[in-house]
Amino acid sequence: MIIHAKVALLSMLATFSWNGIFRIHQYSSFYFTSTAIILFVATHGVLLIWSYKFLIQHMWRAYLFGAFLWIGANIVWHAPPLYLSTGLYICLLSTFHLGEYLATALFNPTTITIDSFLLNHSVEFNLALAVSWLEHGILVFICPGMKSCAWITTVGFLLTFTGDFVRKLAMYTAGKSFNHIVQYQKEESHGLVTSGVYGLVRHPSYTGWFIWSISTQILLCNPVCCVAYAIASWKFFSERIFYEESTLLNFFGQDYVNYQKKVPSGIPFVSGFILQYRS
């Protein structure tokens, strides 16, 4: 495991060590107090040593997502049922972005950068995130009963988890052939991956992200954003797949044409870039 992955995991552990510090007043035993303090000091000390100078930018981002994961988990555990979806959403957002970085660090470490967190994916992505929070906040205030529908929240959570799992499985399967940025030049490490989850759909990472995106709004019981996310996500991945497959056809030629004929894209009603042969 490379140092980047270790820093990310330790950052998450360090943020959770705050939980012990905050609960010292509840458990006044010497054993609990000393363990909590030692864990807090040790994790933060090692983290600072590891991330000194060259990894500090990576560390604070991982620490930030770890902190949000801790906040979300505490909302789930301690807040009233009305805020269950809020806590779960924070947890899933944190694990998605932290997981993107970790998966890159583990499966294709030569491409790891601070952008691997997908923290600043695009203006549209950040705007969609803000709008989802806005709708959620308004509905919590004016229609709290809608936000207390446990079965919808549960379905949304399971679908969101499934989508993220499919995406990370795709990253693992593709290995060094996976990159967050569409590649226009074929590298030696690039190979046409058609096994595993790629034998079911051509773009499983997009399939997973598509499911994840819409399911987060099911989880939040956001009816407007659920529809809007479905439309926006479909449009984004339709265009992305079209441009990406134009490069893949250039890289792999007839092999990719044959692959296209056998395996669907993974996004409903999206064909991708199809070569037109003149007779």
Reading the chain (279 residues) residue by residue, the pLDDT tens digits are 577 787 777 777 777 777 766 666 566 666 666 776 777 777 767 767 766 666 788 888 888 898 899 899 999 998 999 999 999 999 999 999 999 999 999 999 888 888 999 987 788 889 999 999 999 999 999 999 888 888 999 999 999 999 999 999 999 999 999 999 888 888 888 899 999 999 999 999 999 999 999 999 999 999 999 999 999 999 999 999 999 999 999 999 999 999 999 999 999 999 999 887 654
Its domain, for residue 158, covers: 122-269
**pLDDT at res. 151:** 93
**pLDDT at res. 199:** 97
**pLDDT at res. 51:** 66
CA dist 5 and 20 (Å) reads: 24
pTM recorded for the entire structure: 0.89
In a domain, 67, yes or no: no
Residue whose structure tokens are 């030696």: 188
In a domain, 11, yes or no: no
In a domain, 18, yes or no: no
In a domain, 15, yes or no: no
Domain count within the chain: 1
**pLDDT at res. 22:** 66
Within the chain, residue ranges assigned H as helices are 3-22, 30-51, 56-78, 84-107, 123-142, 150-174, 204-219, 223-252, 254-262
In a domain, 110, yes or no: no
Give whole-number Cα distances, 109 to 14, 113, 146, 148, 192, in Å. 23, 9, 43, 42, 19
What token pair was written down for 252?
């792999």
**pLDDT at res. 87:** 96
- Whether the CB-CB separation of 65 and 14 falls below 8 Å is answered with no
In a domain, 154, yes or no: yes
Taking only the tens place, the pLDDT of each residue in 87-137 is 999 999 999 999 999 999 999 988 888 899 998 778 888 999 999 999 999
CATH number at residue 234: 1.20.120.1630
In a domain, 39, yes or no: no
Judged by DSSP in three states, 166 sits in helix
Q: Which residues contact 136 (CB under 8 A, 6 or more apart)?
A: 85, 86, 89, 147, 220, 222
In a domain, 233, yes or no: yes
**pLDDT at res. 242:** 96
End-to-end CA distance of the chain: 53
Give whole-number Cα distances, 22 to 32, 33, 74, 224, in Å. 12, 10, 12, 38
